[in-house]
Amino acid sequence: MKNSMYLLVAFATLGAAACTNKKKQNIVVEENKIVVYQVFTRLFGNTDTTNKPWGTMEENGVGKFADFTEKALNAIRELGVTHIWYTGVPHHALINDYTAFGISNDDPDVVKGRAGSPYAVKDYYSVNPDLATDVNKRLEEFEALIIRTHTAGMKVVIDIVPNHVARHYESKTKPDGETGFGEKDDQTLEYRRDNDFYYIPGQPFRVPVSQNGYKPLAGDPNPLSDGMFKEVPAKWTGNGSRLAQPDINDWYETVKINYGVRPDGSYDFDTLPDEYAQKSIAEHATFWKDKSVPASWTKFRNIALFWIDKGVDGFRFDMAEMVPVEFWSYMNSAIKTKNPKATLIAEVYNPAQYRNYIFKGKIDYLYDKVELYDTLKHIMQGPGSTDSIAPIQQRLADIEHHMLHFLENHDEQRIASPDFAGMAEKGKPAMVVSATISTSPTLVYFGQELGEPGAQNAGFGSPTRTSIFDYIGVPHHQRWMNGGLFDGGKLSESEKALRLFYNQLLQFTISSPALMGKYDDIHAHNRYNNGSYHQKLFSFVRWSDQQKLLILVNFSADSSWQGTISLPKHIQDAWGLKTGSYSMKNALGTADRLKMQVTDTDARIDVTLDPLASKILILQ
């Protein structure tokens, strides 16, 4: 046991040294932390409680752009939100008849669910017609929402999915001079650099066969639901399947975009020299200025700039690591040239590639899933130890600012789901760690702050996460909406208490100077020197010239803890603490005050922590 404690101390020392160094690669760090609130736009304003599996829009209801009223947006901002990520805005494939508005119908055989996946985009220059009050004015309605969001003091983020598009991509609203994906492809070739898609010449596409009895629309009749979809020749599927009949578990509703990567994996474009990891946006833009690039690169750049011109403040890029880093340099330098303050978030799950996509790809923030999220989830579920947290900070010390922290999003199980933690309150200590351990942004998924369990059987897929494929209501969120009052009037007392916790925490994070300052682990110090301190507790310090914080959490749902937390000598020195008594005020929950007693060799605070409780102690 002692040997493992020595390793913890070593990790903590390394982590502290690394985290106190400022970024070495020309990184601009915001003055305050940012909080991104992800809303599934289709679900946010839906007040219908029918929740019929596979229900139509008329049966189960749907939210609209107009549901984001001034009152709703102000309530979101007051939660402590700086950015809203409106998920599902670009027009994607769905099962609803909009032919009266010049929109072609989509085939249920290549659409997941009835409302469709927001990651099977059908027209990047339009928005989801389901979200409009007046379908003919759907783009204007979204532009009005952008203005309302800005007026409420928040920035707007939407999705771009460069790796793939809907099987039936059809951009009828593209600007003059723009070419739609695949329009000029030579379909007789598997690969050509300026083809937008990869083809399987001589073979038609065949709808995948389910082995478990799955039927589109649960077998409900539809004129296009016949087990067939005309695509000749077949295209590669979004996840890279090269089969004319992909597997039912493949992303069969999408087709993969060709970025000039030959079928053997070699590149058909200029590669970016390694030294560009150290270069500026302007230097990246200059590098690509006179280069010939694949046609798909230009199309996606123009799409991004179209939305920047509409007032969108940034993008969340789906499955970014499935696209070459050179493309990201090309597109993101164009975006940042147009709007230097644009917020760029990407889904990357390979830690070995993090720095590549941040520094060469010029992406601001990457998902911290396989490091922090997976570790916290393991702790919340019971078996995990908090001893695993500090080494993550050490490994990511040089890029900690660029790792987006979250506990929920549309891809992950809800905390309150029985398959995750089964209890929303178990997310509270993890949320404190996630939101305060680094200078990185925090992501909150709508309904997370209310304990939404994602229990509805919406249709496609299974419960535990809120459906992204079907029309459904979100009960806890609906109680907060309270029929459009957005005041939480129908929430239970426990739901109100949970939202108050999130409110206090998030408001503190966006205003605390210490959370944009330095970090050091004191967990290992206390594990080694304190017999009662255990692996369900975690503690660390954050500080700046203006503010000093000690943060302590208890992951145990069953046991309170009473004991003494001590600060190692190097923290006393860094904080300039002299011998004597200091007051520390709790910024989370009740504003109780604790005493810190400082001697020549130690600083100690007597603390009591209830189960699942946390304290953010500010040195007075």
User: Which one has a higher pLDDT value, 453 or 24?
Assistant: 453
What pairs with residue 548 in β-bridges? 543
pLDDT of residue 4: 32
**367: pLDDT strictly greater than 70:** yes
Of 146, 154, 114, the C-alpha closest to 130 is 114
- Domain 2-9+513-619 matching CATH 3.40.50.1100: the answer reads no
d(CA 489, CA 477) in angstroms, rounded, equals 11
d(CA 233, CA 221) in angstroms, rounded, equals 27
Confidence of residue 284 (pLDDT cuts 50, 70, 90): very high
d(CA 107, CA 127) in angstroms, rounded, equals 19
User: Which one has a higher pLDDT value, 23 or 186?
Assistant: 186
**17: pLDDT strictly greater than 60:** no
Distances (CA, A) of 104 to 91, 93, 169, 181: 12, 10, 10, 16
DSSP 3-state assignment of 426? helix
Over residues 192-205, mean pLDDT: 98
Residues with Cβ < 8 Å from 162, sequence gap 6 or more? 257, 259, 300, 317, 318, 320, 323, 327, 331
**203: pLDDT strictly greater than 70:** yes
Over residues 126-154, mean pLDDT: 98
**436: pLDDT strictly greater than 70:** yes
d(CA 426, CA 533) in angstroms, rounded, equals 19
Complete DSSP assignment for 363-397: -SEEE-IIIIIHHHHHHHTSS--GGGHHHHHHHTG
Element (H, E) at 541: strand 537-543
Quickly count helices (H) and strands (E) in the chain. Answer: 16, 22
**78: pLDDT strictly greater than 70:** yes
Q: In this prediction, what percent of the chain has a pLDDT beyond 70?
A: 95
- Amino acid at the residue 484: G
Residues with Cβ < 8 Å from 72, sequence gap 6 or more? 45, 481, 486
pLDDT of residue 10: 31
Residues with Cβ < 8 Å from 71, sequence gap 6 or more? 484, 485, 486
d(CA 34, CA 314) in angstroms, rounded, equals 13
pLDDT of residue 224: 97
pLDDT of residue 20: 35
**23: pLDDT strictly greater than 60:** no
d(CA 108, CA 13) in angstroms, rounded, equals 56
Confidence of residue 29 (pLDDT cuts 50, 70, 90): low
d(CA 416, CA 461) in angstroms, rounded, equals 18
DSSP 3-state assignment of 182? coil
The structure tokens listed for 114 are 């009835």
Average pLDDT, the chain: 94
DSSP code at position 360: I
d(CA 509, CA 33) in angstroms, rounded, equals 6
Q: Contact 371/389 with Cβ under 8 angstroms?
A: no
Confidence of residue 591 (pLDDT cuts 50, 70, 90): confident
What pairs with residue 445 in β-bridges? 38
pLDDT of residue 108: 98
Over residues 53-69, mean pLDDT: 98
Looking at 244-248, 441-445, 455-459, 526-530, which range is the least confident one? Answer: 526-530
Q: Contact 368/405 with Cβ under 8 angstroms?
A: yes
pLDDT of residue 531: 84
Helices of type H across 224-294:
281-289
**314: pLDDT strictly greater than 60:** yes
Distances (CA, A) of 339 to 124, 240, 305, 310, 366: 20, 33, 9, 12, 19
Confidence of residue 530 (pLDDT cuts 50, 70, 90): confident
Cis peptide leading into residue 233 (ω within 30°): yes
For the stretch 461-477, pLDDT in tens is 889 999 999 999 999 99
Cα R_g (the chain), whole angstroms? 25
**15: pLDDT strictly greater than 90:** no
**6: pLDDT strictly greater than 70:** no
Q: Provide the sign of the torsion angle of the four alpha carbons 41, 42, 48, 53, taken in this order.
A: negative
List strand residue ranges (DSSP E) for 247-342, in order. 254-256, 314-317
d(CA 81, CA 443) in angstroms, rounded, equals 9
pLDDT of residue 250: 97
User: Which one has a higher pLDDT value, 50 or 23?
Assistant: 50
